[in-house]
């Protein structure tokens, strides 16, 4: 208050808004990672993926017209191959659009009692504490400065946390594959793999006919067939290998991050007793025998493996949406049922780590 009795600062009711922990570090608008903005060159791999899908179609139309119509005189084969190839292309683009347009897994704002300005003191005191213990390792993101749900990870490329993050994919518009886009991503891989193998099958059958009937076919159509056979087999093997790997992850209820990092098990260990290690232990604290033990346990300790049927049901829901674009994974992406044997196996791993630590 100045000498005239006028306060230096005054606050109108409702003029102060609580600051969300997620937005507290997003004030710098020039930071691309904080604001999750992307430059034009981030979309070049996506453009390349679209061109690779569309690239075989001129050669396909050449084969359909010059071979199936003009040589074989089969409208049935022409319409069948045309319908199947463009149906698979349509399915590939629908799931690709969903992966690019849909948020992979937004972290909900923390339900903090301080965020309610109209809350009375009595309500604040009577409100029960949250179920999650954010002081536990892995429950709080120190970059976003916000709660991090189970199986969520922070992506350094996107500058945010993603629910059940699988990996960051530059081919999907430089976006992450997470809880809400994992099913469409597998649908995309399956559609492209089937399209590639079907195209290769059409081309190989045409090449076989051209080899035995060289005088009945023109000179350029076999070249298109050769290109389609090579491209179809190449993409079928490359994309098919990714599809096979992600089907394996789905059937075992793992993400790419969980499958590739053995030491994520450390944060789930029970408290260690009589050990120099921290609770939970850090990777750099482990000796070489302890590291080998954790890597060996990683192949058998699957925290969320409920059997392949239940694991598959956690990714794909029955319905037409699953067939058209992959649908969406059921659940909220924050809570996942655990393997009933996980706690027992983690306790055994913790006791073995303590024994190795005492023997060192």
| pLDDT value of position 283 | 87
Which uninterrupted H or E stretch holds 133? none
Domain ranges of the chain: 40-110+130-242
| pLDDT value of position 279 | 82
In sequence order, what are the residues at sequence separation of 6 or more whose Cβ sits closer than 8 angstroms to the Cβ of residue 123?
none
Q: Rounded mean pLDDT of 24-37?
A: 43
Which pLDDT tens digit goes with each residue over 196-252?
A: 999 999 999 999 999 999 889 998 999 999 999 999 999 999 999 999 999 999 999
Q: Is the pLDDT of residue 193 over 80?
A: yes
Determine how β-strand 167-169 pairs with β-strand 160-162: unpaired
| pLDDT value of position 138 | 61
CA distance linking residue 49 with residue 53, whole number of Å: 6
Kindly write down the DSSP assignment for every residue of 154-202, as one continuous string. Answer: EETTTTEEETT--EEEGGGTSEEE-TTTHHHHHHHHHHHHHHHHHHHHH
Q: Is the pLDDT of residue 113 over 90?
A: no
Which pLDDT tens digit goes with each residue over 54-82?
A: 999 999 999 999 999 999 999 999 999 99
Q: Which of 299, 294, 296 is nearest to 280 (CA)?
A: 294
Q: Is the pLDDT of residue 323 over 70?
A: yes
Inter-residue contact 177 to 166 (CB < 8 Å): yes
By the 10 Å C-beta count (0-12 exposed, 13-18 middle, 19+ buried), 88 is classed as: buried
Q: Is the pLDDT of residue 48 over 90?
A: yes
Q: Rounded mean pLDDT of 28-48?
A: 70
In the three-class reduction of DSSP (H, G, I as helix; E, B as strand; rest coil), residue 352 is classed as helix
Known catalytic residue: 99?
A: no
| pLDDT value of position 89 | 97
Which pLDDT tens digit goes with each residue over 275-301?
A: 688 888 888 888 899 899 999 998 888
| pLDDT value of position 120 | 53
Active-site entry in 161, 169, 176, 329: 169
Give strand ranges (E) for the chain.
140-141, 146-147, 153-155, 160-162, 167-169, 175-177
Q: Is the pLDDT of residue 91 over 60?
A: yes
What is the pLDDT confidence band of residue 360, given thresholds at 50, 70 and 90? low
Q: Is the pLDDT of residue 259 over 60?
A: yes
Q: Is the pLDDT of residue 27 over 60?
A: no
Percent of the chain with pLDDT over 90: 57
Q: Which residues pair with 176 in a beta bridge?
A: 168
Percent of the chain with pLDDT over 70: 81
pLDDT averaged over every residue in the chain: 84
Q: Is the pLDDT of residue 18 over 60?
A: no
Q: Which of 231, 212, 202, 227 is nearest to 67 (CA)?
A: 202
């Amino acid at each position: 208050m100045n000498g005239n009795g006028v306060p230096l600062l005054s606050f109108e009711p409702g003029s102060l808004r609580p600051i969300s922990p997620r937005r507290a570090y997003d004030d710098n608008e020039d930071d691309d990672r904080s604001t999750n903005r992307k430059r034009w060159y981030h979309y070049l791999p996506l453009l390349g993926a679209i061109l690779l899908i569309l690239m075989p179609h001129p050669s396909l139309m050449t084969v359909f017209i010059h071979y199936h119509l003009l040589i074989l005189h089969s409208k049935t084969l022409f319409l069948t191959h045309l319908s199947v190839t463009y149906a698979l292309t349509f399915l590939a683009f629908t799931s690709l659009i969903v992966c690019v347009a849909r948020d992979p897994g937004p972290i909900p704002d923390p339900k903090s009692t301080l965020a309610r300005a109209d809350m009375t003191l009595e309500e604040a005191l009577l409100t029960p504490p949250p179920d999650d213990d954010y002081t536990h390792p892995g429950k709080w993101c120190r970059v976003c400065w916000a709660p991090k749900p189970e199986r969520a990870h922070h992506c350094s490329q996107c500058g945010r946390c993603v629910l059940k993050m699988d990996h960051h994919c530059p081919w999907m518009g430089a976006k992450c594959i997470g809880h809400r886009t994992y099913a469409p991503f597998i649908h995309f891989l399956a559609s492209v793999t089937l399209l590639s193998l079907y195209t290769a099958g059409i081309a190989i059958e045409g090449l076989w006919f051209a080899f035995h009937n060289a005088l009945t076919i023109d000179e350029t159509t076999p070249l298109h067939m050769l290109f389609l056979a090579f491209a179809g087999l190449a993409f079928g093997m490359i994309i098919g290998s990714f599809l096979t790997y992600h089907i394996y992850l789905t059937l075992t209820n793992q993400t790419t991050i969980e499958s590739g990092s053995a030491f994520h098990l450390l944060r789930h260990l029970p408290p260690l007793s009589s050990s120099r290690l921290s609770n939970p232990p850090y990777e750099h604290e482990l000796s070489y025998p302890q590291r080998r033990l954790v890597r060996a346990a990683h192949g058998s300790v699957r925290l969320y493996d409920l059997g392949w049927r239940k694991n598959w049901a956690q990714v794909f829901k029955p319905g037409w949406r699953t067939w058209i674009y992959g649908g969406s994974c059921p659940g909220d992406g924050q809570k996942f049922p655990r393997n009933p044997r996980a706690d027992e196996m983690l306790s055994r791993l913790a006791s073995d780590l303590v024994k190795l630590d005492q023997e060192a």
